[in-house]
Amino acid sequence: MQGYTVKTLTQFIIEQQASIPYATGEFSRLLYHIGVAAKIVNKKVNKAGLVDILGEAGHVNVQGEAQKKLDLMANWQFIQSLRNSRECCGIASEEDQEVITWDDDQLTRDGNYVVCMDPLDGSSNIDVNVSIGTIFGIYRRISPRGERVTMDDFMQPGHKQVAAGYVIYGSSTMLVYTAGNGVFGFTLDPSIGEFCLSNFLIKTPAEGRIYSVNEGNFEHFPQGVKDYIRYCQGVDKPTGRPYSTRYIGSLVADFHRNLLKGGIYMYPPTAAAPNGKLRLLYECNPIAFIAEQAGGRASNGAERILDIQPESIHQRMPFYVGSAHMVQKVEELLSHEG
């Protein structure tokens, strides 16, 4: 029987590390542990239909949304794995009001990195077998090693991320990440339990033909966004319009499709949610870093996402991300609003 050659995530990380002079392996260890947590969460997500894990856990998370059982499990799993890595000294998670630290644990306090994460995004889709995802952004701490992490460690603008990624639990499970030198995708081969390199140096088309937005909120969008949606719907052969609308309501899945095919994802402000819905630290920033690394663009309509100075760990931000020309177009229309 013929075998086949694969490059696993672990192997890839080791090779990448070897190409960075003086790299100590700390960062590689951190990424490795994220991969381990992703595999465990994947197993549970796959099993979700079989065991009594579906449904709400009876708690409300910090945004007042009902937490699903799988959210809690994923949160716990990633926290444990990050702690085990000994490289992470603090976590900001969508599921926890305060940042997570391990002050009793000197080894962990010595860690050089903080992680901002949404352990299971798109959780309203859990019960209906639609793709969900994990999102993470990694920063080097600015407070001295060995001491308690401070809020300043988390209040760094997105361009300070040393790496960011997402895991999509979909028809297959993928881990996509960037460490600032391109975007790489790994597909989980369940038969060997390894993430295998499947997408080398992902580049997103500068122009796309898909727009993804919750159009049910149309009446509440800023005029510039309404104008952009009308533009997408307009008929124009040279630009390939009308564009297609595709909206799963699961950021990772919507973004991943648009990244590969070309398109724009938007979560604009509405009257009820003047800052939009998505969270800057653990949803917008990691996705924005990946988008830019793939040649795309990410903005809040007026400003580059990665330049925004965070003010609190759960802060929300309007979000426009994807193919560079499409994001520029909506920015241009928004700027006419005055």
Contact residues for Mg ion, defined by CB under 5 A: 118, 121
Stretch that binds ligand AHM, among 15-23, 218-226, 248-256, 295-303 (CB under 6 A): 248-256
**Residue 134 binds ligand AHM, judged by CB under 6 A:** no
Site string for ligand AHM, 263-302 (x = CB under 6 A): --------------x-------------------------
Residue 262, sorted as left (phi over 0), alpha (psi -120 to 50) or beta, turns out to be left
Total residues interacting with ligand AHM, rule: CB under 6 A: 12
Q: Work out what residue 285 binds among ligand AHM, Mg ion, none; the CB cut-off runs from 5 to 8 Å by kind.
A: none
Say which residues have a Cβ less than 8 Å from residue 172's Cβ, sequence separation at least 6: 187, 188
Cβ-based burial of 269 (10 A; exposed 0-12, middle 13-18, buried ≥19): buried
Q: Which of residues 209-228 bind ligand AHM (CB under 6 A)?
A: 214
Stretch that binds ligand AHM, among 95-103, 183-191, 243-251, 296-304 (CB under 6 A): 243-251
Site string for ligand AHM, 72-111 (x = CB under 6 A): ----------------------x-----------------
For residue 248, the one-letter residue type is I
- β-strand 264-267 against 319-322: which pairing, if any? antiparallel
- Whole-number minimum distance, CB 279 to Mg ion, in Å? 7
Cross-strand pairs, 185: 176, 199
Stretch that binds ligand AHM, among 76-84, 246-254, 300-308, 324-332 (CB under 6 A): 246-254
- Whole-number minimum distance, CB 119 to Mg ion, in Å? 9
- Whole-number minimum distance, CB 282 to Mg ion, in Å? 7
**Residue 251 binds ligand AHM, judged by CB under 6 A:** yes
Q: Where are the alpha helices (DSSP H) in 64-215?
A: 69-85, 106-109, 151-154
Return the number of the residue (87 or 121) whose C-beta is nearest Mg ion. 121
- Whole-number minimum distance, CB 319 to Mg ion, in Å? 12
Single residue of 42, 85, 123, 323 touching ligand AHM by CB under 6 A: 123
Mapped onto helix, strand or coil, the DSSP state of residue 15 is helix
Indicate the length of the chain as a whole number.
Answer: 338
Return the number of the residue (118 or 227) whose C-beta is nearest ligand AHM. 118
From the list 48, 71, 41, the residue with the least C-alpha distance to 58 is: 71
- Which DSSP symbol is given to 304? B
Q: Work out what residue 188 binds among Mg ion, ligand AHM, none; the CB cut-off runs from 5 to 8 Å by kind.
A: none
For 178-187, the CB contacts below 8 A with 24+ separation are 178/289, 178/290, 178/293, 178/294, 179/16, 179/27, 179/31, 180/289, 180/293, 181/16, 181/293, 182/293, 183/259, 183/290, 183/293, 183/294, 184/12, 186/8, 186/9, 186/12
Residues that bind ligand AHM (CB under 6 A): 65, 94, 118, 121-123, 214, 249-251, 254, 277
